[in-house]
């Protein structure tokens, strides 16, 4: 076989092998991945960075499956993996979320790995079915709640303009009973930051949360650029 033909035949495989080796040497293995299953959202949060997105866009199963496969391959020797469901309202894509979780667990088990899940949700759609599935498949719900009622309802409103605080609060006992651990993700704005300490303290006291994080809106950073 001529050398040219030999190179033409084998170069693609050689190129892939070299690229893989370079990646392994220069980049650390993956141990976590965030999946944006949908851009659909059932609230109308004033500061939300998804506000300008097209609400009809959803991830398809083939893309989700490839993402899981990529995580499994690029995790290499890592044994503990995490998949986070975020963006839009993930519970609007609950069927896909279940597919992803079940497939990821299957793949992880076949490779001697363990995968866990988190889901950031506004909790207004949360049901016992969602929580029981999470129990069975090893993931937790992280709640988007901005603090005390007056602060939360200022920006996190429903399509009819009403605040969503009460919809979340009435689901907290069920989540606390079935999940146990409660975590929140708070967003504060320039006109609400003075009540951040009060809001955090209130969540720990009356909601019995275990963990809380706080940040400014992503859209605020975009406006400043």
pLDDT digits (tens, 9 = 90+) for 136-173: 999 999 999 999 999 999 999 999 999 999 999 999 99
Do residues 86 and 218 lie in contact, with contact meaning Cβ atoms separated by under 8 Å? no
219 has pLDDT over 60: no
* Whether pLDDT at 83 is above 50: yes
pTM here is 0.83
**Count of other CB atoms within 10 angstroms of residue 181:** 12
Q: What is the pLDDT of residues 93-110, one digit of tens each?
A: 999 999 999 999 999 999
Q: What is the pLDDT of residue 21?
A: 64
* CATH class for the domain made up of 28-224: alpha beta
Structure tokens at 203: 């969540």
**What is the percent of the chain with per-residue pLDDT over 70, rounded to a whole number?**
81
- The Cα–Cα gap between 131 and 133 comes to 5
Report how far apart, in Å, the C-alpha atoms of 131 and of each of 2, 117, 136, 174 are.
63, 13, 9, 9
Range in 7-16, 60-69, 118-127 the model is least confident about:
7-16
């Amino acid at each position: 076989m001529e050398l040219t033909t030999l190179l033409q035949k084998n170069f693609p495989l050689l190129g892939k092998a070299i690229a893989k080796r370079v990646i392994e040497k220069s980049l650390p293995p993956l141990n976590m991945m965030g999946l944006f299953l949908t851009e659909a959202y059932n609230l109308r949060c004033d500061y939300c960075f998804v506000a300008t997105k097209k609400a009809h866009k959803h991830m398809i199963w083939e893309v989700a499956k490839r993402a899981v496969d990529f995580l499994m391959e690029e995790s290499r020797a890592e044994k503990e993996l995490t998949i986070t469901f975020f963006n839009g309202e993930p519970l609007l894509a609950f069927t896909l979320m279940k597919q992803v979780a079940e497939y990821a667990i299957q793949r992880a088990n076949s490779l001697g790995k363990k995968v866990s899940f988190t889901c950031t949700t506004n909790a207004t759609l949360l049901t016992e079915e969602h929580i029981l599935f999470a129990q069975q498949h090893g993931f937790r719900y992280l709640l988007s709640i901005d603090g005390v009622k007056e602060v939360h309802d200022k920006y996190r409103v429903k399509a009819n303009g009403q605040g969503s605080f009460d919809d979340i609060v009435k689901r907290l006992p069920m989540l606390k009973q079935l999940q146990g651990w409660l975590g929140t993700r708070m967003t504060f704005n320039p006109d609400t930051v003075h009540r951040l300490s009060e809001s955090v303290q209130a969540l720990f006291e009356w909601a019995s949360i275990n963990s809380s994080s706080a940040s400014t809106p992503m859209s605020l950073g975009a406006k400043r650029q």
